[in-house]
A and B are shown apart, each in its own frame.
Chain A
């Protein structure tokens, strides 16, 4: 029961997280292929949760492979976050209600 709970809960939580990042694809925004790979890793963890009821060692191997897949997404994401954390955010200009400040973000290239 313990391995089932661990694999299942982690599979669900990571799938929800990565899925929430992938939802923007519905609006036509391009997504990172690593996010799609990570979602596959989450499904592998869910698969491992059910396999563990019958073959715990095989399930552990599936789960380990799934974690490597998931780390391929979370590893660079954590590194990027740590690097970005050392940078100062840019000052936000005054919004006068007509939003050219925000509109400037969407300036044509």
Chain B
């Protein structure tokens, strides 16, 4: 949160400093600690070492972070022709963990559209997939485009008796069904 403010303060400082250094009169161009005329050999070497250390550190950090925090994609399987809200509650004590198949967490949504699991929700750069379960097998649910059938997806957090829980919620259906669902729930929740 402080990063934007720090960036603005430093930007003001650099603007003033670089303007002063650029428009300084050549007669007064004497080397000083604030306006040096260059850096000596040792300072340059020190800066080269400093840069190498930073680049190396950044590369190592990136490699370590990408290894330890690669999230598992979530495969959500919805019953054929299901239409309505789907909610997956994560981190629920005593609930079964989601099975893992081919490196993906598998969430089979029951007919009521709600599933609870003790598995934690995974955040990060992973692509979740949404599928309909039919007699013929799995069929992908369009996530975007003209035939889009996934709407209003949110990741939320709620506090319950068993502590903080996270959940993922979205609507499955066509645009009209989604509009009707939103309108219906809004009017029913109005006092």
Choose one: A26, A101, A106; the contact of B125 (CB below 8 Å): A26
Per-residue interface assignment for chain B, residues 1 to 44, with 1 indicating a CB less than 8 Å from any chain A CB and 0 otherwise: 00110111011011101110110000000000111111100011
B10 and A107 contact, CB distance less than 8 A: no
A98 and B85 contact, CB distance less than 8 A: yes
8 Å CB interface, A58-74 against B = 59-61, 63-64, 66-67, 70-71, 74
Q: A3-B21, A103-B182, A107-B179 known; A67 and B7 CB under 8 Å? A: no
With both chains docked as a complex, state the minimum distance between the C-beta of A3 and any C-beta of chain B, in angstroms.
7
B3 and A6 contact, CB distance less than 8 A: no
Sorting the interface of chain A by its residue count into under 10, 10 to 19, 20 to 34 or 35 or more gives 35 or more
With both chains docked as a complex, state the minimum distance between the C-beta of B149 and any C-beta of chain A, in angstroms.
12
For the complex, give the distance between the alpha carbons of A60 and B43 in Å.
Answer: 19
Please, could you name 9 A-B residue pairs with CB atoms under 8 Å apart, sorted by A? A1-B39, A6-B10, A7-B14, A26-B125, A48-B18, A57-B21, A98-B87, A100-B181, A104-B186
Q: Which residues of B contact A (CB under 8 A)?
A: 3-4, 6-8, 10-11, 13-15, 17-19, 21-22, 33-39, 43-44, 47, 85, 87, 125, 151-154, 156, 158, 169, 171, 175, 178-179, 181-182, 185-186, 189
